[in-house]
Amino acid sequence: MRAVVKDGIAVFYPQGFLDGNSAESMLSIDDIKATENLKTDLVLVSLKKVIFFNKNGLEIFVRMLIKVRKANQARIGFCDYDIKKFNSIMNFFKEDLSFSLFNTLETASLFASSFKNKQKNVLIYSENKSQRSVMAIDLHNYGHNPIITQTKNEFDEKKKNSNSYDVIIENTHMGSMESGTISTRVSGNAIIYNVSSFLDAGIANSFNIHYHNNSLKAGFRLFIFEAYQVVNMNVHAVNFFSKLASSSAEYNATICFVGLSTEKTTTKFHETLEDSGIMFFEQLDTLLDDKKLLAELGASTATNIKDKRSLNKAIITQLPNFIEATVDTIKMMTNAEAKKESASIYTIKIQETENKIASSIGFYGDIDGMIILIFPKSIAKKACELLIGEETDDKELIMDSLGEFVNIIGGKIKTLLADNNIRIKITLPRTYDEVSELLTVADNRKGVQVDLTFDDDHFSFFLTR
Amino acid sequence: MITKDEIDNFIDKIPPAPKALKETIRLLVDGELMKAAKIAETELPLKMYLKNLVNKAVFGFKHEVSEVSQIFGILGVSGSQQAVYNYMLTLLSPDEWILFNLTEKTFYELQARLSANYNKILKHLNIVDRDIQSAISLIPASIIVTEAFFKNHIKDIEIIRATKPLDYNTILKRLSGMDLFDICIKIANKWEMSDKVSEILQTASGVKPSENKDINLIGKWIHLLLFYELSQPMFIEAGLNQFLDFQVDFVEDIYEDFLKIMKVES
């Protein structure tokens, strides 16, 4: 069974009866290896579709999840259960509860650094006082507003007024978690890296520089280091961030820190970082909510890069695979047949920008580059229907699903190239609800443009570096 | 990926029930067990299938049963009809399974387990009804249909499912407007099974409850039984645990009784 990944959380969805025999068959070593490679900050088993479980069944899952925790420092546990299931698990494991329990996936997502929506008002209750504190501290660190209740009566009373809270947490337990991981998420087209503990020379190893560089190529221009949980940093870390800021400046990109107060670094370090162009903000939400400031920092518009590299033979040879993956995925999701209209090697040309949305996704590994997809809204909406399950005009939902859809195209490309012994990794997709925004990144950039039609709707594919 | 035309084409190609089997079922319906056995005896593959089926451990017979007349005698009219429909379904199953890691043996095992355990449930519910008893035979048709439509899209489905936990039934429904159980009903219609069977099939999907209280109850039991079986290691390893969405809430009220009947220790 493979995990489903969204917003930095990997979730396994077993169904039916979970005992020692079935659990062994549900999760294989290959599944665990694949999960390790996902590098998510939370790995959970949803019990929503499990009607029966026993201790043996859960223990087998826990043993497997611990392997992921050791490899990735991810938080592991179970989610989506009712009070009866929660009590059973607590009873099975008593004092030996080394994993986390989240009553819902929504609760779990509050503890993921990749969760997009911050500042949730969260009502908390746990019989265990230290659990209440751990939850509150973690929630606070992740940018939420925890409201702790000390007694069950107080909790029940406050719960009656459920409209006052975004999320209500009960029947939840925080297990131990390794620290030191750098997780990544996208918010409003800014990339947010989460750093914690003491930052030293190790940052160079734990930070995925290839990913960062390819995100720059994919058009991202604002990178935020969320550093609420950083306690201090040394000169090696300062040098690392300074160099990162200098290299990113070539793309007109901005690097910011949030939550890194001057008490956490020496004034000298702070000044060195500022001199290299790094900016500091107290709160992530203040930054993300200020659309004007975000635009100034480059999160909504992106200037084109000076370094325009040419397509090389290795990429051009694979062009049919890129096209096939894209066409097949759209066909798979919409049942619409594609017709190739024209292909040209030059700069991107979009005839009409009205009623179109776009997305870009970078890839790196044996070959590197960027794919830009410009969709008529109708195709994007149709393609996303399979993921959403119904027709919708909700712009936010469509853009969110478009990201998932382009991720599926990226996954398909990865698979097709792997069949040809070419290994690549893909970045998170960036979405543009206005094509004009995309053009600021891609205009005048050389590449291959293939124009296609799907049921008479025009669609453009552009491959560049 | 999968179009309505492909589904229509698939349905068109479903063969009608072979003459000898139709005659066997007709005689069983009339209660003519011995006459039905005589015809079934001439159909060698059917005879082999029935022998193989009833001698599986799940049926719990101490001594090997080999003659069709003996088998029909033990199973009774309804049980025999159910067994013949089970055989008819195997005529639709692929020679080689690609999407699911199944073999002829494991597929027969699933049929046998579903039938034997379903019979226990019907006994518990005090239900003696030939159509109701036959309904279970069509349930594995959903697996055959999934195999037929998705075997050429394995990697695509893996990529979609890495992003969203969608089961095959939902994907098919969203792509074509028809779900697995709609197609199973077409099979039932082709085989001239009763409307009651079709209604039970729909309800057993777990997503279309019936307004008929009795049919709804049967649907619940079948849905839970299916997931009980799909939680067996053999079928999990075949990739069957995830093919359909399990509707826990739908079966919540019969769960405790189910555990007792299946002797599951909590």
Quote the pLDDT of residue A306: 47
Last residue of a domain, one of B60, B90, B120: B90
Instruction: Say yes or no: A329 contacts chain B, CB-CB below 8 A.
Output: yes
Smallest Cα distance from B111 to chain A, Å: 18
Residues B137 and B12 in one domain: yes
Q: Cβ–Cβ of B161/A4 closer than 8 Å?
A: yes
Q: Assign A207 to helix, strand or coil.
A: coil
- Residue B211: inside a domain: yes
Report residue A368 CA to chain centroid gap.
21
B83 contacts: CB under 8 Å, gap ≥ 6: B50, B53, B54, B71, B75, B115
pLDDT band at B97 (very low <50, low <70, confident <90, very high): very high
Does the structure show a pLDDT above 90 at B158? no
Residues B143 and B208 in one domain: yes
Nearest to B242 among A1, A5, A335 (CB): A1
Residues of B in contact with A386 (CB under 8 A): 160, 166, 171, 174-175
Predicted model pTM: 0.72
Of residues B146, B197, B138, the one with CA closest to residue B169: B146
- Residue B146: inside a domain: yes
Estimate the crossing angle of helix B130-138 against helix B180-190, to 10 degrees: 130
Residues B174 and B84 in one domain: no
Q: Cβ–Cβ of B174/A21 closer than 8 Å?
A: no
List the domain range (segments joined by +) for residue B47: 19-90
Q: Cβ–Cβ of B175/A4 closer than 8 Å?
A: no
Residues B265 and B195 in one domain: yes
Nearest CA in chain B to A23: B233
Number of domains in chain B: 2
- Residue B144: inside a domain: yes
Residues B74 and B184 in one domain: no
Nearest CA in chain B to A5: B163
Q: What confidence tens digit (pLDDT) does each residue in A346-399 have?
A: 777 777 777 888 888 888 888 888 888 888 888 888 778 888 877 777 877 888
Distance between CA atoms of A170 and A425, rounded to whole angstroms? 39
Q: Cβ–Cβ of B153/A332 closer than 8 Å?
A: yes
Residues B155 and B219 in one domain: yes
Mean pLDDT within B140-146: 89
Distance between CA atoms of A129 and A123, rounded to whole angstroms? 15
Quote the pLDDT of residue B256: 92
Please compute, for residue B147, the number of CA atoms within 13 A of its CA located in the half-sphere on the CB side.
Answer: 21
Domains for chain A: give ranges and CATH numbers: 4-169 (3.30.750.24), 183-297 (3.30.750.24), 313-464 (3.40.1550.10)
Query: What average pLDDT does chain B have?
Result: 89
Residues B183 and B249 in one domain: yes
Q: Cβ–Cβ of B227/A51 closer than 8 Å?
A: yes
Residues B263 and B234 in one domain: yes
Mean pLDDT within A448-458: 82
Last residue of a domain, one of B50, B65, B90: B90
Q: What confidence tens digit (pLDDT) does each residue in A216-274 have?
A: 877 778 899 988 878 888 899 999 999 998 888 878 788 999 888 777 788 888 888 98
Does the structure show a pLDDT above 80 at A297? no
Residues B253 and B127 in one domain: yes
Residues B124 and B147 in one domain: yes
Q: Chain B: which residues have CB within 8 Å of chain A?
A: 1-3, 153, 155-156, 158-166, 170-171, 174-175, 224, 227-228, 230-233, 236-237, 241-242, 245-246, 248, 251-252, 255, 259, 264, 266
- Residue B95: inside a domain: no
Last residue of a domain, one of B66, B90, B114: B90
- Residue B98: inside a domain: no
Residues B110 and B235 in one domain: yes
Nearest to A2 among B162, B241, B255 (CB): B162
ipTM of the complex: 0.84
- Residue B96: inside a domain: no
**Structure-block tokens of residue A160:** 């009656």
Nearest to A25 among B171, B174, B237 (CB): B237
**B237 vs B57, residue with greater confidence:** B237
- Residue B191: inside a domain: yes
Distance between CA atoms of A287 and B23, rounded to whole angstroms? 77
Does the structure show a pLDDT above 70 at A303? no
Residues B220 and B169 in one domain: yes
- Residue B145: inside a domain: yes
Quote the pLDDT of residue A180: 47
Q: Cβ–Cβ of A52/B264 closer than 8 Å?
A: yes
Q: Cβ–Cβ of B162/A335 closer than 8 Å?
A: no
